[in-house]
């Protein structure tokens, strides 16, 4: 491990156009799972100026019949869920308004050829919804066992959104991005060397060189820096930190009006900020038979429990699947040279599948994934969140004792 280096991660807010799309897609997943816990959902969302478009394939009792016809009232429920999601984010702008935007629903029935591979039968278990590789990661550099650069990037934007909604910072608008660069010494973050925050804002809060005193930009900048200092450990943000707040000068046109958004375009923001490999599959809009989602959750769960058990300071886990096949094709563990004395990666690879059955059904049942729990995960990261008994069950550390016993 290098002794000293810089590392950077970014985040985007709930009002970023891609995140608007993710939240809408997961609102549809939640709606359908509330009707049928075994529903199949693959919902893609496009957002642009005054328009939201849904596409994808679905199946489920109380949603669509065997002839591919919508059950009574479901299409209105879908539209209501879309508009409510946009309203909760806070979009009431001329270019994107929850009440007046144009909505199009192009969801249709799931392909029978996909269904026959995924569904359980008399002679087969439920198969994976697709082929692919999934990674989970954990590190002890923050209490959430997440990379610090991403953890702080998320928390800065989450706090700014809370201040916007509470009225503490009424000059903020929904769309924003953050980027945090930290210096690491002996694998631990010690200071913030660079901070970038670009946030959509009300008129008169712009900045141009030489004209800053003529606007209210200083109020916006001071608020952002106060939040950043409160989110990061004391002393991380100093006079030596390179700081850019709205470096383009003006950011009044934002969200889907400023740039189109599509489901699944922020997968590194969703996971580990580049500190870990990523399998490539997005999460939002997919029911938990899709291993892109459920297997990524179980690998995070396992990696987090490994680190929480003190077996290593860092842990990466990979699983791979074939469409229609239940059991994973491979299990891989990398402790990055941080393993505790006597902890062997090959032994962990043998132990983990005995603690949790790593089939799509086994994962869903262990974590309780057939429930409408996904919309809150679609902004500010799927990982590093606080489990509350319903949401984020993959963040629990209830395997610690079993892991310690198995590896003793």
**Residue ranges of the alpha helices (H) in 255-326?**
255-258, 267-270, 291-308
Cβ atoms within 10 A of the Cβ of 49, count?
A: 17
Catalytic residue list contains 347: no
Catalytic residue list contains 292: yes
Catalytic residue list contains 177: yes
Catalytic residue among 7, 96, 251, 392: 251
**Ligand-binding site membership of 175 (annotated):** yes
Catalytic residue among 115, 260, 371, 406: 260
Catalytic residue among 7, 10, 16, 228: 16
At residue 39, φ and ψ (nearest 5 deg) are: -60, 150
Closest by CA to 283, choosing from 10, 13, 43, 15, is 43
Catalytic residue list contains 259: yes
Sequence-distant (6+) residues with CB within 8 A of 170 are 164, 202
Tokens 């949790």 -> residue = 356
Q: What is the distance, to the nearest Å, from the Cα of residue 362 to the centroid of all Cα atoms in its chain?
A: 22
**Ligand-binding site membership of 40 (annotated):** no
**Ligand-binding site membership of 99 (annotated):** no
**Ligand-binding site membership of 72 (annotated):** no
Q: What is the distance, to the nearest Å, from the Cα of residue 217 to the centroid of all Cα atoms in its chain?
A: 31
Sequence-distant (6+) residues with CB within 8 A of 70 are 63, 64
Catalytic residue among 159, 164, 221, 290: 290
Catalytic residue among 223, 266, 293, 382: 266
Catalytic residue list contains 38: no
Closest by CA to 83, choosing from 68, 103, 67, is 103
**Ligand-binding site membership of 401 (annotated):** no
H/E stretch holding 354:
helix 345-355
**Ligand-binding site membership of 259 (annotated):** yes
Can you name the residues that pair with 261 across neighbouring β-strands? 47
**Ligand-binding site membership of 286 (annotated):** yes
Catalytic residue among 177, 293, 313, 375: 177
Give the integer Cα–Cα distance in Å for 54 and 21: 9
Catalytic residue among 44, 141, 158, 173: 44
What is the end-to-end Cα distance of the chain in Å, rounded? 26
Catalytic residue list contains 214: no
Catalytic residue among 140, 259, 327, 344: 259
Catalytic residue list contains 19: yes
Catalytic residue list contains 290: yes
**Ligand-binding site membership of 67 (annotated):** no
What is the C-alpha radius of gyration for the chain, rounded to an integer number of angstroms? 22
**Ligand-binding site membership of 176 (annotated):** yes
**Ligand-binding site membership of 283 (annotated):** no
Give the integer Cα–Cα distance in Å for 19 and 177: 11
**Ligand-binding site membership of 14 (annotated):** no
Catalytic residue list contains 396: no
**Ligand-binding site membership of 177 (annotated):** yes
H/E stretch holding 318:
strand 314-321
Give the integer Cα–Cα distance in Å for 207 and 222: 13
Closest by CA to 313, choosing from 350, 262, 346, 275, is 275
Catalytic residue among 164, 286, 300, 304: 286
Catalytic residue among 7, 10, 14, 18: 18
Catalytic residue among 223, 265, 364, 382: 265
Binding-site residue ranges for ATP: 16, 175-177, 250-251, 259, 265-266, 282, 286
Provide the annotated binding site. 16, 18, 44, 57, 110, 175-177, 250-251, 259, 265-266, 282, 286, 290
Binding annotation for Mg(2+): 18
- Residue numbers in the known binding site for K(+) are 44
- Name the residues annotated as catalytic: 16, 18-19, 44, 57, 177, 251, 259-260, 265-266, 286, 290, 292
List binding-site positions for L-methionine. 57, 110, 259, 290
């Amino acid at each position: 491990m290098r002794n000293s280096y810089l590392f950077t991660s970014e985040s985007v807010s709930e009002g970023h156009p891609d995140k608007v799309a993710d939240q809408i897609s997961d609102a549809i997943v939640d709606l359908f799972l509330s009707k049928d816990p075994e529903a199949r959902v693959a919902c893609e969302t496009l957002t642009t100026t005054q328009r939201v478009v849904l596409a994808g394939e679905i199946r489920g009792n109380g949603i669509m019949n065997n002839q591919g016809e919508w059950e009574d009232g479901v299409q209105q429920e879908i539209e209501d869920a879309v508009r409510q999601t946009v309203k909760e984010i806070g979009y009431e702008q001329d270019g994107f308004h929850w009440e007046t935007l144009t909505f199009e629903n192009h969801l249709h029935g799931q392909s029978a050829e996909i269904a026959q591979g995924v569904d359980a039968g008399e002679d087969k278990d439920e198969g994976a919804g697709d082929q692919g590789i999934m990674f989970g990661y954990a590190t002890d550099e923050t209490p959430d066992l997440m990379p610090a650069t991403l953890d702080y990037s998320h928390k800065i934007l989450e706090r700014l959104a809370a201040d916007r909604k509470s009225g503490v910072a009424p000059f903020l608008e929904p769309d924003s991005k953050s980027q945090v660069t930290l210096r690491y010494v002996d694998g631990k973050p010690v200071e913030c060397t660079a901070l970038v925050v670009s946030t959509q804002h009300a008129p008169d809060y712009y900045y141009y060189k030489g004209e800053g005193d003529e606007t209210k930009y200083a109020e916006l900048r001071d608020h952002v820096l106060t939040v950043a200092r409160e989110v990061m450990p004391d002393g991380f943000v100093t006079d030596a930190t390179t700081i850019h707040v709205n470096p383009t000068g003006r950011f009044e046109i934002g969200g889907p009006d400023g740039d189109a958004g599509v489901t699944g375009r922020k997968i590194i923001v969703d996971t580990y900020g580049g500190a870990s490999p990523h399998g490539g599959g997005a999460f939002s809009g997919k029911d938990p038979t899709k291993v892109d989602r459920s297997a990524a959750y179980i690998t995070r769960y396992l990696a987090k429990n490994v680190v929480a058990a003190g077996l290593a300071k860092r842990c990466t886990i990979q699983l791979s699947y074939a469409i229609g096949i239940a059991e994973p094709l491979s299990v891989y563990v990398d402790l990055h040279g941080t393993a505790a004395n006597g902890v062997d990666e090959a032994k962990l690879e043998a132990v983990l599948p005995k603690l949790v059955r790593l089939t799509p059904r086994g994962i869903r049942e262990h974590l309780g994934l057939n429930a409408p729990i996904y919309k809150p995960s679609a902004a500010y990261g799927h990982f590093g969140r606080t489990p509350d008994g319903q949401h984020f069950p993959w963040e629990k550390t209830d395997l610690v004792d079993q892991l310690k016993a198995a590896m003793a």
